[in-house]
Amino acid sequence: MTSSAASAHIDDHPDHPLDATERRALRDEALELLRKLVRNACVNDLTPDSGQEERNADTLEEYFAGAPVSIRRLEPRPGRTSIIVTVEGEDPEAEPLTFLGHTDVVPVDEPRWTTEPFGAEVIDGKIYGRGTQDMLGITASMAVVTRRIAESPRRPKGTLTFVGVADEEARGGLGAKWLSEEHPGEFSWRNAVGERGGAHIRPADGTDHVTVTIGEKGAAQRRLHVTGDAGHGSQPYGVTSSIRRIGVVAQRISDATPPVSQDGVWENFVRVFDFDGATLAALAEGSPNAYEAFGDLAGYAYAISHLTVSPTVVRAGEAINVFPSSAHLDLDIRTLPGQTDDDVDAYLRGVLGDIAEEVRIERLISEPASLSPTGTPVFEAITETIAEFFPESTVLPIISGGGTDLRFARRLGGVGYGFALNHRDRTFAHESLRGHGHDEHLHLEDLELTVAAYLRLTERVLLSGRTRRGF
C-alpha cells in the first residue's frame, strides 16, 4: 500500500462512531479482500458462460475459513456460483438481516484505462479496478462485517446472511433471480441490504442529505414492428418504405414527453432543493428545460419523474439493393412504481396516434417497478446509523433508474434498501455518473465509512433484538 493510501481515513471527529484504530482495521481487512476480488476478473459479458464467479466464491469461502459460519454454494450453470454465508441467530422472532452483494463485473475497454483494470492498484487514497465501485467494495465490506459478527462473543439475536451473488449485471438470471425462484427458502429475503445509496445531495441552501435507495424503476422493453413493400432498390416509385415508417415511429416516440410522476418519492426529492414557484410550476408541467435547475442531477431527476422511453436499436434490411419488407425499433422503457404493461402500451399507442394501427407492439423483458416502505425496523436502523456518522444531515429516500438484485427481495414480500456510506465530498451527482466507466475507482475513505456503517447497522438490527412487526 502506498503511503498516501495508508493515511487515507475518516477524519477523527467525535461524531464518528467506532474508534479510529478499529475503523482502519476494518477498512484494511476489507481492502485486502477487495483487491483479491478485483483481481479474479469475473467479467460478465451477458453470455451464459462468462462471469465465472466461482473464482470470487472461492476467495470468499477462503476468507471465511475457520469462522463459525455455515457456507453453501449454489450454481445453475458450471462456474456461475453464488455463495451463501450464514450466522445463525438465537431468536427466531428477531429481525434477520441479509447482505446481497454481487461478485460479477462488467467488461472493460482496456485501451481507455490509465491503470490496469484488474490490478487493484492503490494510488493517492483510491483503489482502481473494474468492480471497485460496482459493487465489489460493498461486497467486501459486507463479508468483513459478517465475519466480525460471527466471531463476536455476543451471538446475534437475529440471523445474519451474506450472499455473494452471481450474474447481477445480466439482470440476475443465473444469480438472484434464479435463487429467488429455485431456492427461495435458502436464506431470508425479509430484510435485504444491497447497492447503492450513501451519497450526498447538497442544494444551494447548504443542507446535506444522504441518499438511501428504497426502490427502483421497472423494465418494459418493447419492439415496435412495421411492414412495407419489398422490391428492387433501383425502382423506388410507389414503394411503401418500411424504413420510412420506422423513422416516423422513432420520431414520434422521441418527441413525446410522458406525464410527470405524482408519487411521494419524487415530491420529497424536489422539496429538498427549495425551488422558487416558477420552477416548481415548470416541473409540474413537465417542461424539459425546467430540469436544468437540478444542475448535474438533471438527467437523474428527469428519469425518476417520468416513464422513460428510449429508442436504442433499429433493424431493417440486409442487401443494399433490396427494399426491406419489415423493420423494427427497440425501446428501453423504464416504468415508475404503479405503472403496468398495459399502461405502457396505451401510452405508446397514444403517441403513435394515427399510425398506431400500422405498428405491432411486441413485449420483451417486462418487470414491474418495486418500492419498499420506510416505516420498517431496518430502515429505522439505517436512519439511526447515518445520524451517527452525519448528525447534521437528513436521510433522503430515493429510487434508482436501473435495476438491482434487491427487487427480488421485494418480489418475495421482503424489503430491500440500497445503503452504503460516502464521504461528504462524494455527491450523488458524482457517484451516479461514475458507474461502469473507465478508470473505475473507490476512495478508501468511502470503503472505511461503508464497512464501519455496516457494522453499526448490523449491531443495531441483530444485537438489539428488534422484533418483527407487520409492514
Which tens digits make up the pLDDT trace of 34-49? 999 999 999 999 999 9
Tell whether the model's pLDDT for residue 1 goes beyond 50.
Answer: no
The whole-model pTM stands at 0.90
What digits encode the pLDDT tens for the residues 208-263? 999 999 999 999 999 999 999 999 999 999 999 999 999 999 999 999 999 999 88
The rounded distance, in Å, linking the Cα atoms of 123 and 237 is 64
Give Cα separations from 418 to 40, 145, 273, 347 (angstroms). Answer: 25, 17, 22, 30
Residue 405 phi/psi, 5° resolution? Answer: -65, -15
DSSP state of 442: E
Average pLDDT of span 441-457: 96
Per-residue pLDDT, 107: 97
Q: What percent of the chain has pLDDT over 90?
A: 87
Q: For 59-85, how does the pLDDT look when each residue is reduced to its tens digit (9 = 90+)? A: 999 999 999 999 999 999 999 999 999
Biggest alpha carbon distance in the chain? 84
| Predicted local distance difference test score (pLDDT) of residue 465 | 60
Q: What is the mean pLDDT of residues 188-194?
A: 98
Chain centroid, CA 97 distance in Å: 19
Q: Which residues contact 428 (CB under 8 A, 6 or more apart)?
A: 199, 200, 201, 211, 297, 300
CA gyration radius for the chain?
Answer: 24
Q: Any idea what DSSP says for residue 260? A: B
pLDDT per residue as tens digits for the range 137-187: 999 999 999 999 999 999 999 999 999 999 999 999 999 999 999 999 999
How many whole angstroms separate alpha carbon 455 and alpha carbon 374? Answer: 21
Is the pLDDT score of 333 beyond 60?
yes
Burial 48-85 (b: 16+ CB within 10 A, else e): eebbbbbbbbebbbebbeeeebeeeebbbeebbbbbbb
Secondary-structure percent of the chain, ordered helix, strand, coil, rounded to 5: 40, 25, 40
Residue 464 Cα distances to 60, 75, 178, angstroms: 27, 34, 33
Cβ count within 10 A of residue 236 = 11
102: enclosing H helix or E strand:
strand 97-102
Q: How many helices (H) and strands (E) does the chain have?
A: 14, 19
pLDDT above 60 (res 468): no
Residue labelled with grid coordinates 418493447 = 222
**Whole-angstrom Cα distance, residue 73 to residue 81?**
7
User: Which pLDDT tens digit goes with each residue over 344-381?
Assistant: 999 999 999 999 999 999 999 999 999 999 999 999 99
> Which of the four pLDDT bands, split at 50, 70 and 90, describes residue 192?
very high
Read off the DSSP letter of residue 132.
I
Residue with more model confidence, 308 or 430: 308
Half-sphere exposure of 68 (CA within 13 A, CB side): 12
Confidence class for position 14, pLDDT limits 50, 70, 90? very low
Would you mind telling me the total number of residues written for the chain in this entry? 471
Q: How confident is the model at residue 13 (pLDDT cuts 50, 70, 90)?
A: very low
Mean pLDDT of the chain: 93
Please check whether residue 379 is in contact with residue 212, taking contact to mean a CB–CB distance below 8 angstroms.
Answer: yes
Rounded CA-CA distance 417/338 in Å is 19
Q: Which tens digits make up the pLDDT trace of 429-440? A: 877 766 778 999
Residue 438 CB: number of other CB atoms within 10 A? 15
